A and B are shown apart, each in its own frame.
Chain A
């Protein structure tokens, strides 16, 4: 065991390894619950961004 040698190669200089890129896959199958969550969060982003814009606008008036 004491003679075991470890070769350490920097990842940038090592041979490339096969990754799970998903290139052979299509779109993910989302359940209706997952789709609903995504749509709710999307609406949330739009509504909240509008509110923040309004808030910043009111702040700018006070400035």
Chain B
């Protein structure tokens, strides 16, 4: 695939479009079922008062994902492989076990959301779950990276529908602007519920699987040193788009806040909005919930399969089909089938798994980031020209400390439930 042009500008645009993918997908796939639930809950319980949190999370998302993209371009290897190489088997195994277990729980929540949304659309889960599982498997096993990437980018761009729903919901735009730029605690101050929600929002906006996914994706796409600036642009575009979509989800949740509806879950909200906006809004909200879960599922399953393949030394590329890389695809397929199967078990404690996943993600993130921070200061590995600048390190350590403190607060709340007002 080669293009020729005399225009430098056009050459830059074409190169960017060729590189575009890993950054956009990793960021947007992070707006998965758990994220939809957290953002809508934040909007339903606190209106637009937590929009500032998303704005704060924008640079955090970009800085973290940029480091992963940089490491992927320079080393041409996945995150799990590099952790094994530089930190040894013990730390490598530990980070892999953390990733795989959290990913499995997260995948369960994705299928739970598909089941919930399809039920509200009148489709039996025993039809919708197997269908989506086979669709997700078919999407990947063809052995064509570009086909997979184009389909997934299309799914990402479909998230524009959240913006349409947010506009239709008619929020007070002055409040939206004010609450986006002025950090403040909602009415009632810092309560246990608010703290839990903040950690869930942070944990769902930046999740450990994203580090593994983007680096492996960049390596699989064989991005070159010259592509690094475009990979950064891809990540920036993905981060901005993701945060805007997350804000739109909060505004959709704000409908419940404005009408004083009790919030249970996004699917129930879809049934409630039917009364005011008609069936199109209900159906669109449910379809976008499914889209979010599908995006999350393919990205999370791939992050597990890539990481496992890298560590085991198996071939692990989307360029080759299932016959050439049976073990790699077996991991991907197993992740999907096990999570889908668990959701179909009657009375499985799905709500508790959803809560646990979001919080665990926030807890595991600081330790996953420390590996990244150390690797991006590893001159021996990546060379002096690519190591973090001082400001990079200051920002990263600040992020790690803030996340660490948030999770300590969460622990205190669990041990001392009356520490924060209800």
What residues make up the interface of A, taking CB atoms closer than 8 Å to B?
2-14, 16-17, 19-23, 25, 27-28, 30, 34, 37-38, 41-42, 44-45, 47-49, 51-56, 59-60, 63
A56 CA / B352 CA spacing, docked (Å):
6
B221 touches A11 (CB 8 A): yes
Q: Are B4 and A56 in contact (CB under 8 A)?
A: no
- With an 8 A cutoff between CB atoms, is B414 at the interface? yes
Q: Is the interface of B mostly helix, strand, loop or mixed?
A: helix
18 A-B residue contacts at CB 8 Å?
A: A3-B6, A4-B6, A7-B3, A8-B14, A10-B2, A11-B19, A12-B1, A22-B82, A25-B381, A28-B381, A44-B407, A44-B408, A47-B411, A52-B363, A54-B414, A59-B352, A60-B349, A63-B349
Q: Could you tell me the distance between the alpha carbons of A26 and B356 in the complex, rounded to whole angstroms? A: 37
Q: In the assembled complex, which residues on chain A have CB atoms less than 8 Å from the CB atom of B98?
A: 45
Instruction: Please give, as numbers and ranges, the residues of chain B lying within 8 Å of A23 by CB-CB distance.
Output: 85
Q: Do B86 and A6 touch across chains, with their CB atoms under 8 A apart?
A: no
Expressed in whole angstroms, the minimum distance between the Cβ of A24 and any Cβ of chain B is 10
Counting residue pairs across A and B whose Cβ atoms lie within 8 Å, the total is 137
**Given the complex of chains A and B, what is the CA–CA distance between A11 and B218 in angstroms?**
10
Min CB distance A58 to B, Å, is 8
Known A2-B6, A22-B82; judge A12-B145 contact (CB<8 A): yes
With a cutoff of 8 Å between Cβ atoms, the chain A residues found around residue B74 in the complex are: 19-20
Residues of B within 8 A of A28 (CB): 86-87, 374, 378, 380-381
Q: How far is the CB of A7 from chain B (nearest CB, A)?
A: 6
Asked if A22 contacts B145 (CB within 8 A), the reply is no
A34 contact set on B, CB distance < 8 A: 374
Question: Is A56 a contact of B355 with CB atoms below 8 Å?
Answer: yes
Residues in B neighbouring A21, C-beta threshold 8 A: 75-77, 85
A2 to B6, CA, bound (A): 7
* Least Cβ–Cβ distance between A26 and chain B, in angstroms: 9
Q: Which residues of the other chain, B, contact A52 by a CB distance below 8 angstroms?
A: 356, 359-360, 363, 410, 414
- Determine, out of B106-114, B287-295, B364-372, the stretch whose residues face the partner at the interface: B364-372
B51-59, B124-132, B166-174, B223-231: which one contacts chain A? B223-231
Across the interface, which residues of A come within 8 angstroms of B15, CB to CB? 8
CA distance A13 to B415 in the complex (A): 56
Q: Is B120 an interface residue, CB under 8 A from the partner?
A: no
A45 to B86, CA, bound (A): 21
